[in-house]
Amino acid sequence: MARICGKDCEARIEMNIKKVGVLGCGLMGSGIAQVCASAGFDVTVLEVEQKYLDKGFAGIDKSLAKFAERPVEKGGITPQQRDEIRSRLRGTTKREDLADCDIVIEAIIENVEEKKKMYASIDAIIKKDAIFASNTSSISVTELLTAVKRPERFIGLHFFNPVPLMKLVEVVKTIATAPEVYDAAYEFAKKLGKVPVRTSDKTGFIVNRLLVPYLLDAIRAYEEGVGSIEDIDNAMKLGCGYPMGPFTLLDFVGLDTTYYITHVMYDEFKERRFASPPLLKRLVMAGWYGKKSGRGFYDYANPEKPVAGKF
Ligand code: 3HC
């Protein structure tokens, strides 16, 4: 799958991508917008209502404030850099404002129909040689590209949460993606300061293909009485050096999101390892989506001291 992109090619790509459009200003969209602006790109973020932009930009301000507190030699930024990054970010509720973007990265709700509707509605607005990218974690990129009239300019760019900190971007090739579009997106990910990995459009790509069965197995182990939520988390953190135990990570990613991913993955592979355990379904039915809703496998009434549930 490896492709060669020499100095000339990199220069051409650099020239081509200057303005970035981000669709959606939620957790992932706002994070993607932040890293693009931090890398020097002008960014326009589209949302359906101003209140979602306000919420997303408040998250960006919080994250930039954390970077500004850190010494520059440890990856921090100066107050002046923070202001420059902020000045490169613009929110809008009008699709027309994306017209001059060189790449448009979609990070709206993880729902096939909603995503296709969004792409179809901007296809005629976005300039002809722009790249369409989706941050989908589980939906087939090939299915999404059917919504636009230029499938060869369509690609997956899968970022990880929290986007400003996680170094990885999965660059997802479909059978329709033009090689030069793939190279441009790969170089773009590098320009963001990320480490891109090459993968193809198979559900879950690399990370979720391996991560999701692990997370679901942790729930099954708990259901079978192998250990408590806290003990399983501690075991994986302290025994394997993972930054978060599986239940903390599940709450962090969102149980609704994970539950949705299990459906798409199970539908593709029809293997038990991708099927949702009953407890995950019950928590989602109860509206306990994890950290964002205040309760999941842990109760976050006191966010500094989450309390593990007993189910
Ligand atoms: N922006 C800027 N800085 C941030 C930040 C943010 N959003 N969040 C945390 N930080 C900073 C903190 O201020 C702290 O800075 P300091 O060292 O200068 O004090 C530093 O990052 C470390 O934060 P914490 O001490 O709060 O916590 P940790 O040391 O545990 O690090 C973490 C946080 C990087 C999130 C780490 O726990 C981690 O790597 N967790 C695993 C995350 C993961 O696996 N993500 C992938 C999820 S899967 C996914 O996204 C795919 C999807 O498709 C499901």
Q: What percent of the chain has pLDDT over 70?
A: 95
Is 137 noted as a catalytic residue in this protein? yes
11: buried, middle or exposed (CB in 10 Å: 19+, 13-18, 0-12)? exposed
Distance between Cα 162 and ligand 1 center (Å) = 6
CB-CB contact of 163 with 32 (8 Å): yes
Q: What are phi and psi of 173, to 5 degrees?
A: -95, 140
Question: Which residues form the pocket of ligand 1, taking CB atoms under 6 Å from any ligand atom?
Answer: 63, 66-67, 70, 137, 160-162, 164-166, 208, 243-244, 249, 253
CB-CB contact of 35 with 107 (8 Å): no
Residue whose CA is at the smallest distance from ligand 1 atom 12: 66
Distance between Cα 161 and ligand 1 center (Å) = 8
Could you give the dihedral angle defined by the CA atoms of residues 122, 123, 127 and 130, in that order, rounded to the nearest 10 degrees? 100
Name the residue ranges covered by the structural domains of the chain.
Answer: 7-200, 208-299
In terms of Cα–Cα distance, which of 204, 219, 148 is closest to 172?
204
Residue 47 CB contacts under 8 Å (≥ 6 apart), including other chains: 24, 25, 53, 56, 91, 92, 93
Distance, CA of 293 to CA of 289 (rounded, Å): 6
pLDDT in tens, 27-83: 999 999 999 999 999 999 999 999 999 999 999 999 999 999 999 999 999 999 999
| Domain spanning 7-200, CATH architecture | 3-Layer(aba) Sandwich (3.40)
In 3-state terms, what secondary structure has residue 43? strand
**Position in ligand 1 atom list of the atom nearest CA 160:** 50
Is 293 noted as a catalytic residue in this protein? no
Is 87 noted as a catalytic residue in this protein? no
pTM metric for this prediction: 0.93
pLDDT in tens, 200-236: 999 999 999 999 999 999 999 999 999 999 999 999 9
| Domain spanning 208-299, CATH architecture | Orthogonal Bundle (1.10)
Distance between Cα 148 and ligand 1 center (Å) = 35
Residue 304 CB contacts under 8 Å (≥ 6 apart), including other chains: none
